[in-house]
């Protein structure tokens, strides 16, 4: 009995210490100042990326705070984001606190335009592309509008996809303490994201590449499920591919959503990292069950017509390893090769792939087939 009581006390003490540590991490993150996008002049050496934004945020008060009523109107605008000539793949070069943003060294916004009508927004967005496909990007938890806007501009620059991109910015509080608030905001955003997808696909019978990060994956799955339950197969047929990056989603819930959707858009890719520390914290909040973004095998998604790509070996510690495919230069280089090979019809994604880091001395990332990918079915 004494040993058992000692064991129980030890377990309680361990849980308490974990809770204190978790609370301390949240407090430090929440109290850290958040940078905001700054205006700056256009310079010849910088690359300009046009970021089209459909947002639930009130543009006169874009920072959502606890207790503040959620905005009921969708707003549309374009931001011209300048990428500095010193840009490194995977990085968003923010100006440091107290420092004036310099377009030679930092991301800056050189121009903005607000649209009074969604159809004008959609027409201009389409005119900026040479392709009939549009990428719609849905950000994750604890994101400000500035965070998401610069991240999409960085993805456009590093992957050079050649298509127009639309950021759907839902009402995240942009505060690490707002996890539950953000999960409610996800549900609040379902109808608006569905309307944006319909509007994008309606322009010139366009198609959509749907990319979501973290908690944004929950929103994407809810919208696809909602469209399926309404029988809107026309919208689902316009989605040419889905990428869930580091999805903050319960695997059982994902399976339920996927089964309700039925035939999933293809390809349907899930990017995971077993050392994603942000999702480890999310697991702590949600009952210690691993999230979809840290699964270590194909069992959790077996039979769902999805492909899982494990980026663990390519993590570089940036951002708690929560955005490895977009922030790791090695991952970006390898992904570009994989997408190029797949687009030519010479390659395909296996149901479960574990990417391997290149030899340190190589300096180059060969495309798949060069011994850098471990395949598991």
pLDDT on residue 339: 83
Query: What's the average model confidence in pLDDT over 342-357?
Result: 79
Residue 307's beta-bridge partner residues? 269
- How far apart CA 14 and CA 60 sit, in angstroms, is 46
pLDDT on residue 278: 94
Say whether pTM exceeds 0.85.
Answer: yes
Task: Give the full edge-to-edge strand order of the sheet including 47-55.
Answer: 108-115, 75-83, 47-55, 164-169, 133-138, 207-213, 239-245, 268-272, 307-310, 352-355, 373-376
Least confident of 66-80, 226-240, 302-316, 347-361: 347-361
pLDDT on residue 364: 47
pLDDT on residue 27: 40
Give yes or no for a cis peptide into 350 (omega within 30° of 0). Answer: no
The sign of the torsion formed by the CA atoms of 282, 250, 233, 190 equals negative
pLDDT on residue 116: 92
Identify the CA nearest to 211 among candidates 138, 309, 283: 138
Residue 209's beta-bridge partner residues? 135, 241
Query: What's the average model confidence in pLDDT over 97-102?
Result: 93
What tens digit of pLDDT does each residue of 230-276 get? 999 999 999 999 999 999 999 999 999 999 999 999 999 999 999 99
21 — pLDDT class (breaks 50, 70, 90): very low
The third-level CATH classification (topology) of the domain covering 2-376 is Rossmann fold (3.40.50)
Identify the CA nearest to 37 among candidates 176, 167, 150, 156: 150
Burial of 25 (0-12, 13-18, 19+ CB in 10 A): middle
- How far apart CA 74 and CA 351 sit, in angstroms, is 37
Check whether 359 has a pLDDT greater than 80: no
pLDDT on residue 345: 64
The full set of domain ranges for the chain reads 2-376
Distances in Å between the alpha carbon of 87 and those of 24, 75, 78, 154, 208? 33, 30, 22, 9, 28
């Amino acid at each position: 009995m004494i040993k058992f009581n000692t064991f129980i006390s030890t377990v309680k003490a361990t849980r308490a210490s974990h809770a204190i540590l978790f609370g301390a991490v949240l407090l430090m993150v929440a109290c850290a100042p958040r940078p905001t996008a700054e205006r700056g002049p256009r310079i010849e050496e910088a690359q300009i990326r046009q970021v089209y934004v459909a947002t639930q945020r009130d543009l006169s008060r874009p920072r959502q705070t606890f207790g503040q009523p959620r905005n009921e109107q969708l707003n549309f605008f374009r931001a011209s984001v300048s990428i500095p000539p010193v840009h490194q793949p995977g990085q968003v070069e923010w100006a440091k606190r107290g420092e004036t943003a310099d377009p030679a060294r930092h991301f800056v916004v050189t121009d903005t335009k607000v649209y009074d009508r969604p159809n004008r927004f959609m027409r201009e967005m389409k005119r900026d592309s040479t392709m009939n496909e549009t990428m719609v990007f849905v950000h994750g938890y604890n994101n400000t509008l500035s965070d998401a806007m610069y991240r999409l501009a960085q993805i456009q620059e590093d992957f050079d996809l050649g298509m127009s991109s639309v950021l759907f910015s839902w009402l995240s509080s942009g505060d690490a303490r707002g996890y539950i608030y953000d999960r409610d905001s996800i549900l609040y955003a379902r109808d608006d994201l569905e309307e944006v997808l319909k509007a994008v696909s309606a322009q010139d019978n366009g198609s959509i590449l749907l990319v979501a990060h973290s908690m944004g994956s929950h929103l994407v799955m809810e919208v696809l499920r909602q469209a399926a339950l309404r029988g809107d197969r026309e919208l689902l047929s316009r989605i040419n591919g889905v990428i869930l990056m580091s999805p903050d989603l319960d695997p059982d819930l994902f399976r339920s959503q996927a089964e309700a959707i039925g035939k999933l858009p293809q390809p349907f890719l899930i990017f995971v990292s077993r050392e994603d520390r942000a999702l480890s914290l999310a697991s702590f909040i949600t009952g210690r069950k691993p999230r979809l973004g840290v699964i270590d095998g194909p069992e959790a998604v077996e039979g769902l017509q999805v492909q899982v790509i494990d980026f663990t070996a390519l993590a570089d510690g940036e951002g708690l390893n929560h955005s490895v495919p977009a922030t790791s230069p090695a991952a970006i280089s390898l992904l570009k090769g994989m997408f190029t090979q797949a687009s030519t019809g010479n390659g395909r994604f296996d149901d479960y792939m574990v990417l391997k880091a290149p030899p340190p001395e190589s300096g180059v990332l060969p495309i798949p087939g060069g011994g850098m990918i471990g395949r598991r079915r």
